[in-house]
Amino acid sequence: MNKRLINWLSWSSILILAVFIVMFLSLCIGSVKVSLSQIFNPSDRIIKEILFKIRLPRIILGFAVGGALAIAGVILQGLFRNPLVEPYTLGISGGAGVFVCLNIVLKIYQKFGVITFPISGFVGAGLVIILVYILSIKKGKLRIQGLLLTGVMISFISSSLIMLIMAMTKAENLHGIVFWIMGSLEEPNIFLVKMTLLVSILGLLISCIFSLDLNAFSCGEKEAHHLGVDVEKTKKLLFILASVLTGVCVSVAGIIGFVGLLVPHLMRMLVGEDHRILLLSSYLCGAGFLIFSDTLARTIISPLELPVGVITGIIGGSLFIYVLTKRGR
C-alpha cells in the first residue's frame, strides 16, 4: 500500500484519539468533578444535567468552531500563499463581528429568528474578504506584503465600529454584545450548536474536494492555471467557504483569534504541506485545541471564567510575532 497513505492514516488516528481524550477530560473537569465511570453511567440527575446539558454542548461547539476556524485558516493561507493569514489577522472575524453586532442592536434576530446570526456573520466575513482581496491586488498581481497590514487595519476599524455601536446602543443590548464579544463557547441555543457542527463538517468535506487545487495554488495562481485548475471559479468558491465558516463561528462563539494560525502552523511542521492531509489534520487538531483551551478557560480561575479568546490570543499572538520575526531574517 501507498507509504504516504499509511503515514496519513496514522496521523489521523493519533489526532482522533487525542480529540477523544481531550473531550473526556473536558467532560470530567470543572467545578463539579465527574469520574470517567459516571460519564458512561450517570446515576445522579444533577450530574447528568451538568454533563449533557452544560458540558457536552460546549464541547461539541468547541469541536465545530475549532475545526472550522482551523480549516478556514488553511484555505486562506493556501489562497494567499502566506502562513500568517487567517480569519482573525485578515480582519474577517472582525467584519463578521460588526455585522453580528448590528444584528443584535437592530433586533433583526427577533423578527427572523436566530438563523440571522450566522447569516449576518457570513455577510460581514464575505465583505471583508472581498475588500482585502481587492485592496491587495495591483495590476493583476497579489501583493502578499501589504496583505497582513490591510487585514490588521480592517481589524482595528471593525473593533472601533463595534465600540461605536456599543456606545450608541441601549443598556439592554449592551449585555448581549459584551457577553458575545468576549468569545465564549457557552451557547444556550441548541439549534445553533447543531447548525455550527453541521456547517463545520460540511466545510471540511467541501474543502477536502479542493485539496488538490489548493496544492496547485501553492506555486502561484498562474501555475495553478497551467495545471488545469479553473482558478477564478475555485478561488470564488473557496473564499465563500472561508467566509461561511468564519461567519458562522463568529456569530455563535464571538471573536476567537489565532486558532487558524496556530493549528495549521503546527500541522505543517508535523504532516507537511500537502492539503490532502493538512485540512483533515488541522480540523482535528483545531477541534482538540479549542476544547482544551475552553476547559482551561473555565477551570483556571474557577469559579470565575476566562473568555476562551484570551487563551488562544495569548498563545497565538506570541506565535505570530515569533513567525513574523523569523521570516524577516
Q: Which amino acid is present at 90?
A: L
State yes or no: residue 26 binds other proteins (CB under 8 A). no
- Helical H runs in 210-272? 211-217, 221-226, 231-253, 259-271
Task: Take residue 35 and report the three cell numbers written for it.
Answer: 469520574
Task: Take residue 131 and report the three cell numbers written for it.
Answer: 475588500
Output the smallest distance, CB 305 to other proteins, in A.
Answer: 38
Looking at beta carbons only, is 4 or 53 nearer to other proteins? 4
- Contact status, residue 99 vs residue 129, Cβ threshold 8 Å: no
Helix, strand, or coil (residue 81): coil
Output the CA torsion sign for 192, 252, 120, 101: positive
Output the smallest distance, CB 5 to other proteins, in A.
Answer: 6
Output the smallest distance, CB 225 to other proteins, in A.
Answer: 6
Among 273, 318, 321, 322, binds other proteins (CB under 8 A): 273
What is the size of the binding site for other proteins (CB under 8 A)?
25
Looking at beta carbons only, is 194 or 268 nearer to other proteins? 268
Looking at beta carbons only, is 176 or 220 nearer to other proteins? 220
Among 218, 235, 315, 319, binds other proteins (CB under 8 A): 218
Output the smallest distance, CB 197 to other proteins, in A.
Answer: 24
- Contact status, residue 309 vs residue 66, Cβ threshold 8 Å: no
Distance CA 26, CA 21 (A): 9
State yes or no: residue 225 binds other proteins (CB under 8 A). yes
State yes or no: residue 10 binds other proteins (CB under 8 A). no
Burial grade of 178 (CB within 10 A; 0-12, 13-18, 19 or more):
exposed
Distance CA 54, CA 27 (A): 10
Cα angle 90-96-97, degrees, rounded to a multiple of 5: 105
Output the smallest distance, CB 327 to other proteins, in A.
Answer: 10
Looking at beta carbons only, is 136 or 246 nearer to other proteins? 136
Output the smallest distance, CB 44 to other proteins, in A.
Answer: 47
Let me know how long the chain is.
329
Stretch that binds other proteins, among 91-99, 171-179, 210-218, 303-311 (CB under 8 A): 210-218
Burial grade of 218 (CB within 10 A; 0-12, 13-18, 19 or more):
middle
Distance CA 10, CA 146 (A): 39
State yes or no: residue 209 binds other proteins (CB under 8 A). yes
State yes or no: residue 274 binds other proteins (CB under 8 A). yes
Output the smallest distance, CB 78 to other proteins, in A.
Answer: 10
State yes or no: residue 314 binds other proteins (CB under 8 A). no
State yes or no: residue 37 binds other proteins (CB under 8 A). no
State yes or no: residue 270 binds other proteins (CB under 8 A). no
Which residues are registered as beta bridge partners of 138?
141
Interacting residues with other proteins between 67 and 106 (CB under 8 A):
81
State yes or no: residue 236 binds other proteins (CB under 8 A). no
- DSSP H or E segment with residue 141: strand 141-142
Output the CA torsion sign for 244, 120, 100, 305: negative
State yes or no: residue 2 binds other proteins (CB under 8 A). yes
- Contact status, residue 122 vs residue 244, Cβ threshold 8 Å: yes
State yes or no: residue 229 binds other proteins (CB under 8 A). yes
Residues within the interface to other proteins (CB under 8 A):
2, 4-5, 81, 209, 211-212, 215-216, 218-220, 222-223, 225-230, 268, 272-274, 276
